[in-house]
Structure 1
Amino acid sequence: MSFHYFAGAACRALTARKDGPSLYDVCDPVLAGPASGDPHLAKFYKTALGNPALRILLRRAGLPELSDATRLTRLREALTRARDDAEPDWAALGRPLADLVDTIPLEHPKPPPVPFAGTMPRQAQIDGAIRDCAQHLLRSFRQNGFLPTYAAFNLIGDPDVRGRELIMALTGLNSRGYKNSSLLFNLARVFIARSQARGVINPPWTGIAEPMWEPVQIRHRSAYYDAFFIEALLSYVETGLASSTDATAAKRAIADMVDFCINISREEVRGTDGARFDVITALAPAPHPRFSRFFAQIKQDLGFGVYVPDCDTTACSISAAMQAGSNDPILDQPLLDFYAGYQVRAGINEPRVTVPLNDNIDYEGGVATWIDNLKGERPYGNDLDPTLNLDILEVSFRNLARWKILETPARLATVHRIIGFQKRLAASGAFANPRSHIYYLPELYSAYFGRCYAAFLSLPLAAQAAIDPDGDFDFIRHRVLSYVQGELMAAEMNVFDAALALIALGHLGADPRAFAPALNVIIAQLGEGGRRGPFRAYEWNKMKTPTRILVGGPEVTSAFVLMGLAVARRAMVGRG
């Protein structure tokens, strides 16, 4: 978006006619004075919502229905109970706010259709873009000592979180601070979405993945991100395009990131059977996440003090370490034994999924996200994401022999049940519905399925037959290809969408002629990142609670474009 767009949007927000009480008219009498009851609620309000810039932007954003004294009183009473009650009834106090959230007019992006662009870029252009992305990653690693990723808050929230889902979050999350932040963020999003401030907070964009143009972005490091940076640099070396100097620099960066993933970010936990396992936490202890001192304090104030390990970071880190040639003993753990304890078994195990924001899908056979730490803490409750389960399959295929999966009936059964979970997603078409996903978008699911499918095809035929006797992977492959070619690439794409499309198409064996639209988008947008890199920052993954938190960065875009172009190049060279 241009300066003129934001200037106009800000002017409209600042000069709009106020119609009803504002966010601050509602909250100041309860939360702006001396703290009482739970001090975090007032601290969060003053830190996140009461800052001067947001006050100015929202000062004319009013809700006419709150001119009704009864409704205004109910809302303030709910905030007071959230502040003062020792054990708040979150479902009851969340109801007045849930009713307001249901008035938000918010939908997922629906890019317009575009004609098929069948002319291929020149091979030299593709190779040049690969080198540009790799040079960006290596330069950033050299300058920072790591590859940074960024988080940014979009206060308008996620289209899939309506009043019903808000109640799910308030009752299913375990941390009171996290409940507080969900409550207040969702209150703020009503005032934003129904006012002229919406144009400033949530400007339109091209494609599906959201660009990260918020002015405040929180730089940090995580093993989950490093795992994919490892794969990107490995793919660069494998193209043969790297000079000897670049290849050496890439290998050094990879070695450092492998160490960060499986040593610095390692954490011991207990499985549901009491056995101890080493897993990987997404946010290592300070100072390793590389937050600035300012944002480290903000993170604490906003209720993100405790961060527990998760199944996805563990799977991706172990996979990346193995691909990089590591022989660390952590790779020898049969992680499927651990994951089995977090696998949903209808009517048998405890209700693993306490925050079922995507309850439109059948969880049977899926593995939940968050891992209880040794203290038994579970601040985020638990949820279940389809893409995470693809990562578990992928790392299982890479460790098939090491973990003796075919020789161990229980482990093979765990794999079969995850595959069954994925097949039902494909058969119903739910994988293409954004609501089915907690942390990702359908086009990213498609790319990750391609990555998983490639690991499956690398297995001996006898192993493939034992893992997938009914041909479920081929069934899912056809559904995913249909979505990528018939929906994603038939509409307007941005660079990140295009990179994910290439990863899916290349791994799933599509005709290389189908790559043309995505390749053209990437080559045409090369340089859009300005001084920060070849491309802009886009949404890689997200959180839907406490509000829409996007994660990505220019380095992330370069990594995924590099991987997409490398996969496409390999397929094109092979066909040639």
Structure 2
Amino acid sequence: MGFHTIAGAAFRALTARKDGPSLYDVCDPVLLKYRGGDPHLGKFYRTALGNPALRPLLRRTGLPELRDEKRLGTLQEALIRARDDDEPDWAAVGAPIAELMADIGVHHPAPQKRAAAGRAADGSEIDRVIRRCGAHLLGSFAKNGFIPTYAAFNLIGDPDMGGREMLTALTGLNSRGYKNSTLLFSLARIFIAHSPARALINPPWTGIAEPMWQPMQIRHRSAYYDAFFTEALLSYVESGLASADEAAASRRAISEMVDFCLKTSAEEVSSHDGSTVRVITALAPLPHPRFSRFFAQIKQDLGFGIYVPDCDTTACSFSAATQAGSTDPILDQPLLDFYRGYQVREGANEPRVTVPLNDNIDYEGGVVTWIDNLAGDRPYGNDLDPTLNLDILEVSFRNLTRWKILETPSRLETVHRIIGFQRRLVESGAFRNPRSHIYYLPELYSAYFGRCHAAFMALPDAARKAIDPDGTFAFIRGKVLAYVEGELTAREMNPFDAALALMALAHLGADVSSFAAALNCITAHLGEGGRHGPYKAYEWNKMKTPTRILVGGPEVTSAFVLMGLTLARGVMMRGNA
């Protein structure tokens, strides 16, 4: 987005003809100053929506519908109820906002068909990019003492979050702070969607994964990210392209990140059978997340203060530690016994999914996301993401012998039911639909299925037959390859999309000729990150509630590019052997 485009959009927002009450006409009388009631709602409004940066951009955007004084009064009365009631009726509170969201007009990207790929990048180009990305990760670790990831708000919100989904979130989230933020962000989305400022907040981009160009990016550290960076550095060492010093630095970083996952981020929780289990929290207590002091306070003011363990961070941390050769006793815990208590059984514990934003899919057999801590907190309610369930399968395959999965009927049944959940998802075609995914996008599901498939194929033949007697992995492989080859790489990509495509193609045994488009995209965009790294920051994962919160970073892109290229390089070298 060029300077003239940015300046033009800002000028139009600042000088727009006001055509009805603005966000601030609605909220200032109710939320700017008050006594009693819930103090967080007002603090959130002043911090997130009424701040000096956003207010000038939206103050001249009005909604004609709210010139109807009765409708305006109903909306303000709903905000008063959210502010003052001890136990608000959140469905009633959200109803007038849901009505206004009908024409918000936010859509998923639809990349154009691309031209023929042409000659694929050669080995020397691939090696150069791998070395650049490996050096970027190691340099970042040396500079920061960890490899950072960033979060950013896109206030236009998620395309899958309409009025119905907003009400689902309001009634399914457990934390009042998250309900408050979902309510107010949803209201702000309506005004942003009708404002010239929309072009600043949500400009178009190439490919599927969204670039993180928002100016307010929150740096932080999590075990989930450290597990991922551990896998990336392992792949760098295994590629043989790291120098002796880089290989040694990689091993030191891997050791420190595994410790961060298994020790610093571990906490004890109750299992469904009354025992206790050590799992991995989404965000370790301060100071370990490494927020700046400014953002740590902002996070508290916005009400994002409680974090609990989750099934995905636990699975990925255990997997990365296993790959790194850790012997920590925490890995001896058979996680499938614990996950079984969070697995959806039709008619038995379906209420576990309290925030069913992706209710277009069949949850039976899937494991939900969030784990209750010892205090019983679960601020997000609970949801169910397909990619998370691939990670559970992957870590189970890596620990098949250690956890005695084939010898333990209940554990094998848990695996079979997750595989059944994945088969129904893919049979329906829903895996290609962004709506089906809570935290990820279809191209990342495809890459992570490739990762899971590789762990499955590394098992002995007899084990594979016991785990998958119906050939589900072969069936899903065919469908995912058809999506990656026929849709993802057939259209315009950005480097992040291309890295994910390579991971899927290489892991799933696609023909080397199918690598060309992704390889060319990655090599052509080298250097786009400027002083921040070889590549820009793109959307790795997201939260749909309370608004579209993106997570990624330049280091994340480097890590995915590194892994995608090393996998493709390995396949290409074996083909030339």
Q: Normalising TM by the smaller chain, what interval?
A: over 0.9
Query: In angstroms, what is the RMSD of aligned CA positions?
Result: 0.7
Q: Does 1:42 align with 2:45?
A: no
Q: What is the match of residue 392 of structure 2?
A: 392
Cα deviations by residue, 1:265-309 (Å, 9 ceiling, x for unpaired): 001001122111000001001000000111111111111111000
Q: What is the match of residue 28 of structure 2?
A: 28
Q: What is the match of residue 538 of structure 1?
A: 538
Cα deviations by residue, 1:484-525 (Å, 9 ceiling, x for unpaired): 010111110000000000000000000011000000000000
Q: What is the match of residue 456 of structure 1?
A: 456
Name the SS of the counterpart of 1:351 in structure 2: helix
Name the SS of the counterpart of 1:165 in structure 2: helix
Report the residue type matching 2:89 in the other structure.
Answer: D
Q: What is the match of residue 441 of structure 2?
A: 441
Distance 1:347 1:427 in 2: 22
Contact 1:147 / 1:555 at 8 angstroms: preserved in 2? Answer: yes
Distance 1:112 1:254 in 2: 39
Q: What is the match of residue 150 of structure 1?
A: 150
Q: Does 1:515 align with 2:515?
A: yes
Superposition deviation, residue 311 in structure 1:
0.1
Name the SS of the counterpart of 2:36 in structure 1: coil
Q: What is the match of residue 16 of structure 1?
A: 16
1:72-91 superposed matches below 5 A: 72-91=72-91
Distance 1:375 1:392 in 2: 25
Q: What is the match of residue 427 of structure 2?
A: 427
Name the SS of the counterpart of 1:53 in structure 2: coil
Q: What is the match of residue 286 of structure 2?
A: 286
Name the SS of the counterpart of 2:53 in structure 1: helix
Distance 1:410 1:76 in 2: 53
Contact 1:61 / 1:197 at 8 angstroms: preserved in 2? Answer: no
Contact 1:451 / 1:504 at 8 angstroms: preserved in 2? Answer: yes
Distance 1:566 1:86 in 2: 56
Q: What is the match of residue 231 of structure 1?
A: 231
Distance 2:349 2:64 in 1: 47
Name the SS of the counterpart of 2:219 in structure 1: strand
Superposition deviation, residue 253 in structure 1:
0.4
Q: What is the match of residue 367 of structure 2?
A: 367
Report the residue type matching 1:47 in the other structure.
Answer: T
Q: What is the match of residue 526 of structure 1?
A: 526
Distance 2:158 2:234 in 1: 34
Distance 2:262 2:408 in 1: 25
Report the residue type matching 1:24 in the other structure.
Answer: Y
Distance 2:68 2:348 in 1: 48
Name the SS of the counterpart of 2:242 in structure 1: coil
1:342-381 superposed matches below 5 A: 342-349=342-349, 351-381=351-381
Distance 1:40 1:484 in 2: 45
Specify every segment of 5 or more residues in structure 1 that has no aligned partner in the other structure, as ranges: none
Name the SS of the counterpart of 1:278 in structure 2: strand
| Identity value in percent | 76
Q: Does 1:555 align with 2:555?
A: yes
1:16-415 superposed matches below 5 A: 16-349=16-349, 351-415=351-415
Report the residue type matching 1:184 in the other structure.
Answer: L
Name the SS of the counterpart of 2:159 in structure 1: coil
Superposition deviation, residue 35 in structure 1:
3.6
Superposition deviation, residue 53 in structure 1:
1.1
Distance 1:467 1:244 in 2: 40
Report the residue type matching 1:115 in the other structure.
Answer: A
> Which sits farther off after the overlay, 482-491 or 31-40?
31-40
Cα deviations by residue, 1:71-129 (Å, 9 ceiling, x for unpaired): 10000000000000010000011100001112201110001101230411121000000
Distance 2:564 2:553 in 1: 17
Name the SS of the counterpart of 1:267 in structure 2: strand
Name the SS of the counterpart of 1:315 in structure 2: helix
Superposition deviation, residue 350 in structure 1:
5.3
Superposition deviation, residue 354 in structure 1:
0.1
Superposition deviation, residue 156 in structure 1:
0.5
Report the residue type matching 1:514 in the other structure.
Answer: S
Distance 1:101 1:308 in 2: 31
Contact 1:35 / 1:42 at 8 angstroms: preserved in 2? Answer: no
Cα deviations by residue, 1:375-408 (Å, 9 ceiling, x for unpaired): 0111100000000000000000000000000000
Name the SS of the counterpart of 1:561 in structure 2: helix
Distance 1:452 1:342 in 2: 20
Report the residue type matching 2:545 in the other structure.
Answer: T
Q: What is the match of residue 503 of structure 1?
A: 503
Cα deviations by residue, 1:318-346 (Å, 9 ceiling, x for unpaired): 00001001010011000000000000000
Distance 2:439 2:351 in 1: 20
Name the SS of the counterpart of 2:151 in structure 1: strand
Distance 2:279 2:406 in 1: 23
Cα deviations by residue, 1:344-373 (Å, 9 ceiling, x for unpaired): 000122511000000000000000000000
Distance 1:286 1:554 in 2: 24
Report the residue type matching 2:158 in the other structure.
Answer: D
Specify every segment of 5 or more residues in structure 2 that has no aligned partner in the other structure, as ranges: none
Report the residue type matching 1:548 in the other structure.
Answer: R
Name the SS of the counterpart of 1:52 in structure 2: coil
Distance 2:350 2:516 in 1: 48
Superposition deviation, residue 34 in structure 1:
2.9
Distance 2:214 2:384 in 1: 28
Distance 1:161 1:374 in 2: 31
Matched residues, number: 576
Q: What is the match of residue 568 of structure 1?
A: 568
Name the SS of the counterpart of 2:153 in structure 1: strand
Name the SS of the counterpart of 2:157 in structure 1: coil
Contact 1:450 / 1:505 at 8 angstroms: preserved in 2? Answer: yes
Cα deviations by residue, 1:512-564 (Å, 9 ceiling, x for unpaired): 11000000000000000000100000000000000000000000000000000
Report the residue type matching 1:138 in the other structure.
Answer: L
Name the SS of the counterpart of 2:273 in structure 1: coil
Distance 1:200 1:36 in 2: 36
Distance 1:46 1:243 in 2: 51
Contact 1:118 / 1:513 at 8 angstroms: preserved in 2? Answer: no
Report the residue type matching 1:217 in the other structure.
Answer: Q
Name the SS of the counterpart of 1:153 in structure 2: strand
Distance 2:468 2:56 in 1: 58
Name the SS of the counterpart of 1:370 in structure 2: coil
Report the residue type matching 2:479 in the other structure.
Answer: R
Identify if the C-alpha distance between structure 1 residues 522 and 95 changes in structure 2 by more than 3 Å, giving closer, same or farther: same
Contact 1:13 / 1:195 at 8 angstroms: preserved in 2? Answer: yes
Cα deviations by residue, 1:8-50 (Å, 9 ceiling, x for unpaired): 1111211221111000000000001134300000000001100
Name the SS of the counterpart of 2:66 in structure 1: helix
Contact 1:209 / 1:497 at 8 angstroms: preserved in 2? Answer: yes
Distance 1:394 1:116 in 2: 35
Distance 2:276 2:102 in 1: 44
Distance 1:535 1:403 in 2: 40
Distance 2:47 2:14 in 1: 22
